[in-house]
Amino acid sequence: MTDVRAPAPTADASVSGPESPAPAVPVDPAAPTGPAGAGRGERAAGWVGVGLVAGGICSQQFGAAVAASLFPRVGALGVVSLRLALSALVLLLVCRPAVRGYGRADWAVVAGFGVALAGMNTLIYQAIDRIPLGTAVTLEVLGPLALSVVTARGPGRWLWAGLALAGVALLGRGGFGELHAAGAGCALGAGALWAAYILLSARAGSRFPRVDGLAWAMACGALLSLPLGVASAGGALLDPAALALGGAVALLSSVLPYTLELLSLRRLAPAAFSVLMSLSPAVAALAGYLVLHQGLALPEVAAIALVVAASAGAVRTATSPAPVPATKRGTRPRTAPRSGSGSGSRTG
């Protein structure tokens, strides 16, 4: 997702002019003006952005908990099919992406994006079906964390990698066979595809306007997952209760988080947004406890905390600006022109 900051509103020249002067507006002496008032406004916008990110995280992880409660009805593959199909339907109806004007390379990016999207959701739901939700998301987030470590600079990145490995060691302290090897493997595979999702999302964003690339990728993922869902669940996918819960999962896990993340990126710097997203494993553990009644032992809570700290630290290291080179006394360093582009991040 790109950092699309809303431009400041401009006055409409047709409202007032020389022949119709604007009426005088009484000034509140207590109202903040000048730099102090602007600073307060920026802080308020920042807190609103934090609230939007928190709402998106809660929506996504509690949506995953609702999805897990739907497994007995249609299975993990059936839930993936419902989520992707209904999410794609909403995006295609709302965005109405164009079909013409794109080449083979553009559609190849969309196809790869859709494969990553379908595979990521399939594997994480397979993991949630076998291991606790908080543990699954903790292992999944290792994929983006590894991407942040690789793209970071300086020796500090190895500290975050060490913290993450310590968290994984705590999770598998009794052996990953006891944790359920298949579930852990699916979560790690989902993490690898999440990293691919991030890279392909950036490419799709540079080739397609707005969220058209995401809409087509979601449709591609739905087409890939539907045969598996139909083979697994059959006619149960058309059960009214299953459709209602599937719609709730699509809304909570895809549509609502994406909207909240888009709004938050208009108020927060991408680095701050990414650090807040690192809290996902902790929120997932809370959702698993409240909705699915999945308890966690103290070592598992410590492991989640280590991975959250490692993820936040790696993101901060990767997004830290490069040091300004020293200049001779009496000279000023040249500054590059400001760019209006931002950095990408995951949309759930």
pLDDT tens string 65-120: 999 999 999 999 999 999 999 999 999 999 899 999 999 999 999 999 999 999 99
pLDDT at 271: 65
Please report which confidence band the pLDDT of residue 268 belongs to, taking 50, 70 and 90 as the band edges. confident
Asked whether the predicted pLDDT for residue 174 surpasses 90, the reply is no
In this structure, is residue 285 part of a structural domain? yes
Asked whether the predicted pLDDT for residue 344 surpasses 60, the reply is no
pLDDT tens string 271-305: 677 777 778 888 999 999 999 998 888 888 888 88
In this structure, is residue 86 part of a structural domain? yes
In the structure encoding, which two tokens stand for residue 65, read together?
């908990």
In this structure, is residue 338 part of a structural domain? no
In this structure, is residue 231 part of a structural domain? yes
The pTM score is 0.73
Domain containing 139 equals 51-319
In this structure, is residue 8 part of a structural domain? no
pLDDT at 35: 54
Beta carbons within 10 angstroms of residue 268's beta carbon:
24
Give the chain's domain count: 1
Determine the average pLDDT of the residues in 168-176.
65
In this structure, is residue 305 part of a structural domain? yes
Asked whether the predicted pLDDT for residue 134 surpasses 80, the reply is yes
Asked whether the predicted pLDDT for residue 333 surpasses 50, the reply is no
In this structure, is residue 4 part of a structural domain? no
In this structure, is residue 290 part of a structural domain? yes
